[in-house]
Structures are given as structure tokens and as C-alpha cells.
């Protein structure tokens, strides 16, 4: 398992670095659309493993539409939400298989649309800001170091369970280590490539991302626990599925974007 995780990271990390730091926002968005498609399909499989092709097409179409509008025309996002909701209502009026399950199916689709396309759109919005490629790279770095430090600190010193009903192995000590890792990532980045950030702004960002990255991880664990599965998929050997890789980032990017809008 450890070997698979290392090999996958060695292949994926250079690609992520290249797309984040050197690709234009248009290319970055195009790749992100592919990520959205894979993630919404994985999430649909969590809730409705037997979903047919029509439901999958609906989820993908609505997810990509919402993601595109949220990235390129956020002021019209409310209109897009109304449009996809009407599409959802018409879809189930015309082709439901079991009327008793309609409310559950509709709720699942709406959750998927909010959870993935809407939250992930902040990654592209952040990339489009001045110096946004560096900001996106910083969020990736903070989230990854948060995850690594939480794991190693929790493994070495963890004694008090953080949320055993959802994630039995996570500890309070590991969570504190994760926040410390995110702060360390910011401080290192300030020294290496982001000297324009003040120490107060950087530490504040690190604390927020460190907290919300772990909340995102716990929320996905909650969904998987509810679905009684371990991983959302098997796309990345040793790392699980696309949603397993996005869980923390889905909460990190909105927090970082809103924080930068307030303080920069």
C-alpha cells in the first residue's frame, strides 16, 4: 500500500504542479471539468450504486453546467441553479422507476451538485486572480502538508479520538498536527515564493485551511460510512478514488478564496 501511494504521488504531483503553476486558467479549467465529471460519478455511486445511464448523464450534465457558470459567470449562478433544478424536476416527472424513492434520489443529486461543482469552482476562481496560480499551489501545499502532518503526529502521539463514530483512527493530537502542518506550509511558502504575504495573514490562512481541510476529510468519511464503503473509488492506487483526493480540497479552496477576498 505504501509503495502504491508513493508511486502514484510521484506520477501525479509533477502534473499537478505543472497545471497549477504554468498552465493558463483556460487549460486549468478544462482539466478541472474532467475532475468534476469523475468526482460526481463517484459520489453518485456512493448514494445510488445501481443508477442507470440516464441518471449518470443528468448528474454529469448538471454538474458541468453549474461548475462552468460558477467559474466564468458567478453572478448568474443562481439562475443556473434554478435551471438545473427545473431539469431535475422534469427528469423525475417523466421517468421515475419507483415513486417512493424519488425524494431520496432528488436529494442525492442536489447534494452532489452542491458538494462538488460549486465548492470546486473556487479553485478556478482563485487561479484566475492576479498571482492566482501561486495561491492555488499554496492551497494544494497547505492541504497536503496538513494531511501528512495529521497522519504522522496522530500515529506517533495520538491518544484522544477526534470523531470515532466517523473516523476511528483520527486523533485530537493529529488534528492539531495537521493545523501546524498547514501553517508550516504557509511560512515556508512566504520564504520561498510568496514574500508579499504578511506573517499574520499567512498564519491566519494556515489555521483556517488546516481546520477546514480536516472538516472536509471528515465529511467525506461520513458519507462513506453512511454508504458502508472504505474508498470512493480505485482510480489512484493506494489513494482511493477522485473524491478521496478532493475531500479536503473541496473545503480548503472556498475558505482560502473568501479569506483572500477579505484580506488582500
Q: Give yes or no for residue 5 having a pLDDT over 70.
A: no
Beta bridge partners, 43, equal none
What mean pLDDT comes out for the span 242-263? 94
What's the count of helices (H) and strands (E) in the chain, helices before strands?
Answer: 11, 2
Please choose, from the candidates 246, 181, 253, the residue with its C-alpha nearest in 3D space to the C-alpha of residue 39: 246
Q: Where is pLDDT greater, at 4 or 209?
A: 209
Banded pLDDT at 50 (limits 50, 70, 90)? confident
Phi, psi dihedrals of residue 263, rounded to the nearest 5°: -105, -20
Q: What is the pLDDT of residues 145-174, one digit of tens each?
A: 999 999 999 999 999 999 999 999 999 999
> Count of domains in the chain?
1
Rounded Cα distance, 21 and 15, in Å: 10
Which tens digits make up the pLDDT trace of 172-182?
999 999 999 99
Domain containing 211: what range?
A: 2-263
Measured at the CA of 142, the angle between CA 23 and CA 43, to 5 degrees, comes to 75
Lowest mean pLDDT of 8-17, 46-55, 78-87, 143-152, name the range.
8-17
Please name the residues in contact with 262: beta carbons below 8 A apart, sequence gap of 6 or more.
none
- Give ∠ CA 176-179-182 in degrees, rounded to 5: 150
pLDDT, position 98: 84
- Amino acid 146: pLDDT: 96
CA distance 239 to 69: 30
Q: How high is the pLDDT of residue 111?
A: 96
What's the CA gap between 175 and 196, in Å, rounded?
Answer: 28
Distance from chain centroid for Cα 91: 28
Is the confidence at residue 234, as pLDDT, over 70?
no
The reported pTM is 0.93
Amino acid at each position: 500500500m505504501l509503495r502504491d501511494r508513493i508511486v502514484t504521488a510521484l506520477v501525479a504531483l509533477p502534473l499537478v504542479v505543472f497545471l497549477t503553476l504554468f498552465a493558463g486558467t483556460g487549460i486549468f479549467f478544462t482539466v478541472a471539468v474532467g475532475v468534476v465529471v469523475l468526482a460526481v460519478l463517484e459520489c453518485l455511486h456512493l448514494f445510488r450504486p445501481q443508477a442507470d445511464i440516464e441518471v449518470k448523464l443528468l448528474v454529469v450534465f448538471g454538474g458541468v453546467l453549474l461548475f462552468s457558470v460558477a467559474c466564468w459567470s458567478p453572478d448568474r449562478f443562481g439562475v443556473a441553479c434554478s435551471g438545473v433544478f427545473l431539469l431535475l424536476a422534469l427528469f423525475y416527472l417523466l421517468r421515475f422507476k419507483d415513486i417512493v424513492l424519488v425524494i431520496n434520489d432528488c436529494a442525492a443529486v442536489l447534494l452532489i451538485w452542491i458538494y462538488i461543482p460549486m465548492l470546486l469552482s473556487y479553485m478556478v476562481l482563485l487561479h484566475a486572480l492576479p498571482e492566482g496560480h501561486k495561491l492555488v499551489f499554496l492551497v494544494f501545499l497547505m492541504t497536503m502538508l496538513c494531511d501528512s502532518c495529521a497522519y504522522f503526529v496522530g500515529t506517533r502521539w495520538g491518544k484522544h479520538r477526534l470523531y470515532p463514530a466517523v473516523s476511528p483512527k483520527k486523533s485530537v493530537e493529529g488534528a492539531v498536527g495537521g493545523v501546524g502542518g498547514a501553517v508550516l506550509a504557509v511560512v515556508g511558502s512566504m520564504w520561498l515564493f510568496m514574500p508579499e504575504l504578511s506573517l499574520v495573514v499567512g498564519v491566519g490562512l494556515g489555521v483556517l485551511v488546516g481546520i477546514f481541510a480536516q472538516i472536509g476529510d471528515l465529511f467525506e468519511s461520513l458519507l462513506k460510512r453512511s454508504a458502508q464503503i472504505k474508498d470512493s473509488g480505485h482510480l489512484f492506487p493506494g489513494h482511493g478514488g477522485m473524491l478521496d483526493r478532493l475531500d479536503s480540497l473541496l473545503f480548503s479552496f472556498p475558505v482560502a478564496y473568501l479569506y483572500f477576498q477579505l484580506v488582500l
